Structure 1
Amino acid sequence: MNGKKITCNACMAHAEKDVRFESRDIEYDTTHVLVKVTCGGICGSDIHYYQHGRAGLSVLKHPMVIGHEFVGVVSEAPEESSLKSGQTVAVNPSCPCNHCEQCLSGKQNLCSTMRFMGSAQFVPHINGGFSDYVAVKPVQCIPYDSRIPANIMAFSEPLAVAIHAVNVGGPLTGKKVLVIGAGPIGCLILAAARSSGASELVASDLSARSRELAQQMGATSTIDAREEVQARCYKQNKGYFDVVFEASGAAAAITSTVDFTRPAGVIVQVGMGAGSVDWPMSTMLVKEISLRGSFRFVDEFAVAVRWLEDGRIDPRPLISATFPPAQIEQALLTATDKNVSAKVLVNFG
């Protein structure tokens, strides 16, 4: 294998409140695809690395390129690959081992040694995609129609998370669905659930702006959980919804899911954040509610690319602002303010 090196600029997280757009070297070989990044979306984990120098249990030990929601154009590809220079691709940030028990059973998202781009879980950290160029494996690259704008295809990763959550929830045709938390993931779950045949889609969020976005993304109605009269009607007769997706991660919201879910219904926990909750165990048991966790995605990434490509999902209402990579700190600050932002994009051109 012939070793190669390219020098480019990247958005590097050094420590809490210390992120820089600076030069770095990328080393790769003839087995890699070199991708010129065009656009990426800021995720909550990127914000946490900036705000706290960590995302959950993953703590920055050395500088790391952030970002795992991104697309680009193939610059170089292995000769034996079907990929060609100039091809537009969405890059799957997942790199599972593909030989552990979870991977072999089709649960690659649960791989214990997953190398997920833009993550400080392991040392050395796994660099992300907010860079002029990235070197990735051919299997990570999903080609798409170059006529589709990069700012639409940059939603491939979060939409994959949403589609996986919908799949975890089970068949939705004709079902009544509640999504709690109308951030980008919650809104994409609404859109995916609508595409999967849900008959009624209600979104719950404390923010009027988020509720408005939820309606644009497919909600048939919205509620503010602080309005007791609104919420009470969905809790009567032991619950109203067949499937409830909790996408906020707030402890109070998680606890409320049991009252909203009908007997024999399903709760899908997507939101992260709450370390522990005061859970109504008895109520859940006597209603025989199924509680399921949803984490990342498996083959849903390729599905997300196709749904965005053919217009089945239009994420554009969620785009709040776009920044050049040199203004990455301002982009992260803007993304942190949920009063004004849903999804902030970084445009690498």
Structure 2
Amino acid sequence: MILREEIVEYRALVAHAAGDLRVETRTLREPAPHEAVVAVGYGGVCGSDLHYHAHGAVGESVLRGPMVLGHEVSGHVAVAAADGSGPAEGTPVTIHPATPCGTCAFCAEGRQNLCPHTTYLGSAARFPHTDGAFAERHVVDAARLVPLPEGLAVRTAALAEPASVAWHAVSRAGEVAGRRVLVVGAGPIGALVVSVLRRAGAGEIVVTDLHERPLRLARELGATATFTGGAPEDLGADIAIDSSGAAAGLATAVRSLRRGGHLVQLGLPPKPEQPFPSGLVVTRELTVTGSFRFHAELSGVVAALADGSLVAEPVISHEFPLGEAETAFATARDAASSGKVLLRF
């Protein structure tokens, strides 16, 4: 175990303000008895990480002090929890980034992803901010660790968090087997939605995006038809999942649904309020459902990645060492030429 008198230094990727991203050396704090130390192997750059870097904020979550970024991470247990809980030293793991309160009504209902008291790795929603895990070492509650099954590479497991977001979104759509499903936006999350839909037995998977590269990836993952820009308004989709968050993408999703269809809004819009074709929701009697993060899905996703029924590896397009974080972030911002960009620790 780590003794208090020992000094364990590690490097971390810290956002200070818009445009101010630094690789800093920090000293590892002493873990509590129920906490483990993870040697982080890989971390995926998420849209929220890009927003903190570019704008110093994600919506109403504004940086008010330095914060370690990163919530899509995997690695190995370097120091097991002293109380014996959690995985043993050396175990490959991924980290569940959310820590819900466990006592509110939402937690009691099994909807911990809606817990208003949740802390999330790499989030400025609260102050002091919750440091993320873009670091060579990360101290975490052992209960947040999910061991990786034999055969699942730590690199691939860095996709478990975004794949869980996609898995949750598909579950919010109800029964998808045999259905015609439209996915708007084929970025990393949209691409993973396609893979989850294929695993769930969707009959047709139609995908739209503004760029050809993500559409090629969508076809590789199981899309049966792709369109650059919008989809045909007479598509008659049973289900539409919007992962773009853009007003135009949302309009495409609504107009492509059949009467009685189901819209799942997954992508976060750039502003809380934006144009929405609500008239069609009424006249077509559409069901509109939001999808926010995930909770219990992570273990199922890890198992599906391990047995090969959920294909995710092609979503990774680039990998950079921690020292090239600025290049990694610039690459991730270019949606036309990149998918999921990984940092290697």
* TMscore range, shorter length: over 0.9
State the Cα distance separating 1:146 from its structure 2 match: 5.0
1:48 aligns with 2:51: yes
Give a deviation string over 1:304-324, Cα, whole Å, max 9, x none: 111111111222222121111
Q: What residue is the counterpart of 2:229 in the other structure? A: 225
State the Cα distance separating 1:190 from its structure 2 match: 0.6
Distance in 1, matches of 2:61 and 2:279, equals 34
Distance in 1, matches of 2:32 and 2:8, equals 11
Distance in 2, matches of 1:273 and 1:208, equals 22
Give 1:69's match in structure 2, choosing from 49, 68, 72: 72
Which range moves more in the overlay, 3-12 or 134-143? 3-12
Aligned partner letter, 2:238: D
State the Cα distance separating 1:210 from its structure 2 match: 1.2
State the Cα distance separating 1:221 from its structure 2 match: 1.0
State the Cα distance separating 1:14 from its structure 2 match: 1.1
1:38 aligns with 2:34: no
Give 1:156's match in structure 2, choosing from 156, 160, 163: 160
Give a deviation string over 1:157-203, Cα, whole Å, max 9, x none: 00000000000000111111000000010010011011111010010
What SS does structure 2 have at the residue aligned with 1:192? helix
Contact 1:88/1:146, CA 8 A, preserved across alignment: no
Q: TM-score, normalised by structure 1?
A: 0.94
Give 1:332's match in structure 2, choosing from 325, 329, 332: 329
1:272 aligns with 2:268: yes
Contact 2:123/2:129, CA 8 A, preserved across alignment: yes
Distance in 2, matches of 1:148 and 1:198, equals 25
Contact 1:3/1:30, CA 8 A, preserved across alignment: no
Distance in 2, matches of 1:195 and 1:189, equals 10
Q: What residue is the counterpart of 1:29 in the other structure? A: 32
Contact 1:251/1:274, CA 8 A, preserved across alignment: no
Q: What residue is the counterpart of 1:244 in the other structure? A: 240
Aligned partner letter, 2:41: T
Aligned partner letter, 1:169: A
State the Cα distance separating 1:216 from its structure 2 match: 1.0
Aligned partner letter, 2:296: D
What SS does structure 1 have at the residue aligned with 2:94? strand
Give a deviation string over 1:23-44, Cα, whole Å, max 9, x none: 1123222220111101110000
Distance in 1, matches of 2:184 and 2:191, equals 10
State the Cα distance separating 1:151 from its structure 2 match: 1.7
State the Cα distance separating 1:86 from its structure 2 match: 0.4
Q: What residue is the counterpart of 2:124 in the other structure? A: 120
Contact 2:150/2:306, CA 8 A, preserved across alignment: no
1:104 aligns with 2:108: yes
User: Alpha carbon RMSD of aligned pairs, Å?
Assistant: 1.5
State the Cα distance separating 1:65 from its structure 2 match: 0.6
Aligned partner letter, 1:14: H
Q: What residue is the counterpart of 1:297 in the other structure? A: 294
Contact 1:87/1:146, CA 8 A, preserved across alignment: no
Give 2:174's match in structure 1, choosing from 170, 173, 186: 170
Q: TM-score, normalised by structure 2?
A: 0.95
Give 1:213's match in structure 2, choosing from 213, 217, 231: 217
Distance in 1, matches of 2:76 and 2:334, equals 31
Q: What residue is the counterpart of 1:16 in the other structure? A: 18
Change (3 A) 1:107 1:146: same
The percentage of aligned residue pairs carrying the same residue is 38
Q: What residue is the counterpart of 1:343 in the other structure? A: 340
Distance in 1, matches of 2:150 and 2:19, equals 36
- Residue-pair matches, total: 339
Distance in 1, matches of 2:336 and 2:279, equals 37
Change (3 A) 1:187 1:24: same
Give 5+ residue unaligned stretches, structure 2.
none
Distance in 1, matches of 2:226 and 2:178, equals 19
1:194 aligns with 2:198: yes
Q: What residue is the counterpart of 1:288 in the other structure? A: 285
Distance in 2, matches of 1:151 and 1:286, equals 47
Distance in 2, matches of 1:138 and 1:268, equals 33
Aligned partner letter, 2:277: P
1:141 aligns with 2:145: yes
Change (3 A) 1:93 1:82: closer
State the Cα distance separating 1:285 from its structure 2 match: 1.2
What SS does structure 2 have at the residue aligned with 1:129? coil
What SS does structure 2 have at the residue aligned with 1:252? helix
Give 1:129's match in structure 2, choosing from 127, 133, 136: 133
